[in-house]
Amino acid sequence: MAATDFKDYYGILGVSKTASQEEIKQAFRKLARKYHPDVNPGNQQAEARFKEVNEAYEVLSDPDKRKKYDQFGQYWKQAGQGFPSGAAGVDMGGFDFSQYGNFDEFINELLGRFGGASPRGGRQSYSYRTSTARPGSGFGGFNDYGFQDVGAGAGQDSEAAIALTFAEAFAGVQKRFSLGNETIDVRIPPGAKPGTRLRVRGKGQINPMTQQRGDLYLKVELQPHSFFQIEGDNLVCEVPITPDEAALGASIDVPTPDGAVNVKLPAGVRSGQSLRLRGKGWPMAKGGRGDQLVKVAIVPPKDLSQQEREYYEKIRAIRTYNPRTHLQQVKL
């Protein structure tokens, strides 16, 4: 069996290697319902995915098969015949695998001191999985930026995290990484979001079977911002206003990625109400930008001057509006 024939059954079901049998069963049922041919008539891709999910569950739901799979990886079927040099149809040149407790140890031994990627020049270990990436060129990238998805290849893919500020992710940035003994520059297009994966071709681990190198996947982590948050393609922020601004309406300045803009508050605006600034949100994959949602928070003053207190007391004395009238009818 070629190294590229290896299937990550845990990855297919979307569970960890330590998942319980119940977690595996739940993941299988969810995916089986999603990709069942009856739900996706004529969809060959869904049918293939359904068969893949069934294959993964067949192995991981069987304790004996799962144990062999965990220990011997792609050679689990031949485990009973000797792993893997004694397996039928597998030519490993007489290599002795008995010295390794599991497939991970074998891989780590062959990888030797191959280093990990760190934006700070440090070294970290990579998790590995058999590459299935289709050939391409240059940097691959974001799941919604038109870059290539995963297909079939012969290298060992690696993963690492990259932390970006809101400004870097919004405008795009070029980052320099120390990758073992080499340094690489990675260009990140505008509009990266948390969880976005950037693909760097040919910078992953070396496949010990083929000696080909896989790809490096950088997963974007966005550092928190003191004012903005991201919801889809929209930016969300909260702006405090005073009680008189809420009652009478006002014109206030609100920060946006392009600078402050003047926003008119309608009279009687409520706390928690959102105002939409069109085209002031996050860059979108197909061009343009989302919106910025300005959430209003009415904030009363903590310290009142003597004159302010007098006027508030006068307002209270003549006020006719009671926002709690409807609560008089509330019962269990």
Mind listing the domains of the chain with CATH numbers? 113-224 (2.60.260.20), 229-329 (2.60.260.20)
* Ramachandran quadrant class, 126 (left: phi over 0; alpha: psi -120 to 50; beta: rest): beta
Per the structure block, which two tokens stand in for 203?
A: 């910078």
Q: What share of the chain is helix, strand, coil (3-state, %, to 5)?
A: 30, 25, 45
Q: Are 196 and 209 in contact (CB under 8 A)?
A: no
pTM of the model: 0.52
Which pair of tokens denotes residue 84? Answer: 């893997």
CA distances in angstroms from 24 to 33, 66, 67, 104, listed in the order given: 14, 11, 14, 22
For the record, the structure tokens of 215 come out as 């790809």
- Residues 332 and 328: their CA atoms lie apart, in Å, by 12
Q: Give the DSSP per-residue string, 179-206.
A: ETTEEEEEEE-TT--TT-EEEETT-SBB
In tens digits, the chain (332 residues) has pLDDT values of 444 456 888 999 999 989 999 999 899 888 988 888 878 888 888 888 988 888 889 889 888 888 888 877 766 676 554 444 433 334 444 444 445 555 555 555 555 434 444 443 333 333 333 333 333 333 333 333 323 333 334 568 888 888 999 999 999 999 887 777 888 888 999 999 998 888 888 888 877 777 788 888 989 999 999 999 999 999 999 999 999 999 999 999 999 999 999 999 999 999 999 999 999 999 998 889 999 999 999 999 999 999 999 999 999 999 999 999 989 889 99
Cβ atoms of 237 and 255 within 8 Å: the answer is yes
